[in-house]
Amino acid sequence: MRHYSLNAPAKINLYLEIIGARADGYHELAMILQSINLADQIDLHAANTQTIRVFCDHPQVPTDESNLAHRAAVLMASNFPTAFSNFGGVDITVKKRIPVAAGLAGGSTNAAAVLVGIDLLWGLGLTQSQLEELGAKLGSDVPFCIGGGTAIATGRGEQLSPLPSLNNMYLVLAKYKSLAVSTPWAYQTYREQFGAEYIKNHQDFTQRTKAVHAAEIVQAIAVQDVEVISHKLHNDLEKVVLPAYPQVLQLRELFAKQPEVLGTMMSGSGPSVFAIVESKQDAETVKEKITVAINDSDLELFVTQTIGHGIQLETRH
């Protein structure tokens, strides 16, 4: 029985700007996405029947057709019906290590791993851009999760411009286990509160995204200047999520007060918050200090690192 095991890393947002509302109902965004070495493990087993099944060890993750990994397999089956009928179905096992509904693209990276894994399982030989095109049908973050590393993402988040890889930047990541933020809620609330400030003319979207390509943080990434990157972190969604989640605001403020912390920001639609530090030792120190200061078993803290890749094949049998 063929079996592939894939590593599916989470992402953080070093930058998230909401530019305006698009005619298709989505927001026009300019983001800088960064892969980190906090990852789920996705195992794909060829099944004898024409079925797609998902198994997951996390109670908050559905295993039915709504699971993004399941949707990715269905998309592959409908795009490649001959391969599906020749090779049969697939059993997908998700070992969850990435916190769920945290702004870390957990579901998206699982979907990306399934696209890459089924391509291998069925011997389709798709290119990265073909996989990204399929990924965009599943969610805006899926194309990035395939190749990972460091990239500017514009449009809905699916248009990618790779940046020089920002490897080995140390981070402390924190998330309250019991808190989950709905991404649609965060964007809708932002639109209600700040929609009046949106760029209205769609032609001007391009001008604004061009400006982001030239932003100071992008230049700092090019020369791996961790200090400037840390000072130029930005996330528009903090304006709606932090006031609604005082615990997250408190965490964010506590991170900012630590002398070892170079910069701190909420990732995506939250509620996870990360802090950039200079070394692994500083990361361990900050983790310890925050653990003691907050003293709540509901708070999960991770020492993690930026990496230069997305989905990776670990083993094949």
Q: How far apart are CA 261 and CA 283, in angstroms?
A: 8
Considering only the stretches 101-109, 120-128, 187-195, 242-250, report the one whose residues sit in contact with ligand ATP under the rule CB under 6 A. Answer: 101-109
Q: What is the largest CA-CA distance in the chain?
A: 59
Cα–Cα distance measured from residue 179 to residue 48, given in angstroms and rounded to the nearest whole number: 39
Q: Shortest Cβ distance from residue 139 to ligand ATP (Å)?
A: 6
Q: Rounded to whole angstroms, how far apart are CA atoms 156 and 159?
A: 7
> Looking up tokens 């304006």, which residue turns up?
239
Under the binding rule (CB under 6 A), the answer on residue 105 touching ligand ATP is: yes
73, 77, 102, 153: which one binds ligand ATP (CB under 6 A) = 102
Distance CA 166, CA 223 (A): 9
* Options 40, 141, 236, 282, the catalytic residue: 141
E-assigned strand segments in 49-181: 52-56, 90-95, 150-155, 159-162, 170-176
Sole binder of ligand ATP in the list 100, 120, 228, 249 (CB under 6 A): 100
Among 104, 160, 229, 277, binds ligand ATP (CB under 6 A): 104
Q: Is 109 annotated as a binding residue?
A: yes
User: At its nearest, how many Å lie between ligand ATP and the CB of residue 192?
Assistant: 19
Cα–Cα distance measured from residue 125 to residue 133, given in angstroms and rounded to the nearest whole number: 14
Polymer length of the chain: 317
Is 11 catalytic? The answer is yes
Residue 38 interacts with ligand ATP (CB under 6 A): yes or no:
no
106, 149, 155, 310: which one binds ligand ATP (CB under 6 A): 106
The verdict on 92 binding ligand ATP (CB under 6 A) reads: no
Interface with ligand ATP in residues 230-289 (CB under 6 A) = 268-269
- Which of 8, 35, 77, 107 is the binder for ligand ATP (CB under 6 A)? 107
Cβ distance to ligand ATP smaller for residue 30 or 94: 94
- Give the interface segment with ligand ATP, choosing from 22-30, 94-102, 204-212, 237-245 (CB under 6 A): 94-102
Instruction: Report how many residues bind ligand ATP under the rule CB under 6 A.
Output: 22
Distance CA 152, CA 30 (A): 7
Which residue's Cβ has the minimum distance to ligand ATP? 107
DSSP string, 95-113: E--SPTTSSS-HHHHHHHH
- Choose which of 5, 67, 150, 230 interacts with ligand ATP (CB under 6 A): 67
How far is the C-alpha of 59 from the C-alpha of 52, rounded, in Å?
A: 20
Task: Using CA atoms of 283, 285, 291, 294 in order, give the dihedral in degrees to the nearest 10.
Answer: -100
Do 186 and 270 touch, CB atoms closer than 8 A? yes
Q: Say whether 95 is catalytic.
A: no
Nearest alpha-carbon partner for 141 in 173, 167, 111: 111
Which residues are known catalytic residues? 11, 141
> Which residues are known binding-site members for ATP?
99-109
Residues that bind ligand ATP (CB under 6 A): 60-62, 66-69, 94, 100-108, 110, 141, 183, 268-269
